[in-house]
């Protein structure tokens, strides 16, 4: 009878190798608990989802041509960048100031001519789009010596393929600058000069703000002008607020 019972019940007894299943399950749960957040965190990072975003625009406008080669200043088109929170998109009239006489038959400019004739604005696609809960004021940055290049990259190198998002514009990225604003400051008359570097301050022309800053810094004849040295000086000159205000939640979330 005992042999019969053992033979009957042995069908329902797990083999010894089944003891390995529990530690494997534990490792699987721990691994998944670590792997999934890391993968999702990296995959959903603005560095990976937003940087490089380059929508197709209704007109193949080349900043490399207009800004880089022809030397148009950013404020010629974006007229409110130093006066308001929003950097205005130029109306068709701005384009036609030149294109009533320049490349009047170009097929690439057909949407511009159609807009001019119909009065319907060109529907440009927004590239840099912050969340609604974030408050960003262009004039507050531009008028304190923060260049367009700090947030938008070398737009003057972006051709007909369109403008792309060069920086991730995340909260952490903004806070890095707010904690160390001196890394982004330059003379206000050089804000739209995207290729400007601190060493060019020594080439400033008399009568300009840059020249005045050069005089005020009172540098030694062969003293190097670094970004940190210039930034520290401008931080005081332009009255940049203290660390507590710059990193306060209410500064950007209102």
Q: At what angle do helices 227-237 and 209-217 cross, to 10 degrees?
A: 100
Q: Please state, as a whole number, how many other Cβ atoms lie within 10 Å of the Cβ of residue 220.
A: 6
Per-residue pLDDT, 27: 79
Domain boundaries, the chain: 21-50, 51-89+124-252
**Residue 52: which residues within 8 A CB-CB, separation 6 or more?**
164, 165
CB 149 within 8 A of CB 155: yes
Give the pLDDT band of residue 226 (cuts 50, 70, 90).
very high
| pLDDT at 43 > cutoff 80 | no
Mean pLDDT, residues 4-20 taken together: 64
- Long-range CB contacts for residues 132-136, cutoff 8 Å, separation at least 24: 133/253, 134/171, 134/252, 134/253, 135/85, 135/252, 135/253, 135/254, 136/85, 136/252
DSSP state at residue 59? S
CA distance 78 to 88: 5
Q: Which residue has the higher pLDDT, 34 or 229?
A: 229
Q: Report the pLDDT value the prediction gives residue 158, as an integer from 0 to 100.
A: 98
Q: Is the pLDDT of residue 39 over 60?
A: no
pTM for this one?
0.81
2, pLDDT greater than 70:
no
């Amino acid at each position: 009878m005992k042999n019969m019972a053992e033979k009957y019940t042995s069908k329902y007894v797990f083999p010894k190798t089944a003891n390995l299943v529990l530690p494997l399950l534990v490792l699987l749960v721990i691994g998944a608990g670590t792997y999934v957040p890391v993968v999702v965190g990296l995959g959903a990072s603005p560095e990976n989802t937003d940087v490089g975003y380059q929508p197709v625009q209704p007109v193949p406008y080349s900043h490399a041509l207009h800004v880089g080669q022809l030397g148009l200043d950013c404020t010629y088109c974006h007229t409110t960048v130093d006066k308001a929170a929003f950097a205005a998109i130029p109306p068709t009239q701005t384009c036609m100031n030149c294109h009533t006489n320049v490349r009047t038959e170009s097929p690439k400019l057909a949407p511009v001519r159609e807009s001019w004739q119909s009065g319907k604005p060109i529907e440009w696609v927004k590239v840099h789009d912050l969340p609604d809960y974030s408050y960003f004021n262009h004039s507050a940055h531009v008028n304190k010596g923060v260049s367009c290049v700090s947030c938008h990259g070398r737009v003057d190198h972006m051709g007909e393929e369109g403008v792309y998002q060069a920086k991730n514009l995340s909260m952490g990225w903004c806070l890095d600058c707010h904690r160390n604003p001196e890394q982004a400051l330059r003379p206000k008359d050089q804000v739209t000069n995207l290729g400007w570097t601190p060493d060019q301050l020594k080439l400033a022309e008399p009568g300009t703000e840059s020249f005045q800053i050069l005089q005020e810094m009172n540098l030694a004849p062969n003293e190097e002008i670094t970004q940190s040295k210039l930034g520290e000086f401008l931080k005081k000159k332009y009255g940049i607020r203290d660390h507590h205000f710059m990193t306060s939640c209410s500064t950007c979330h209102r």
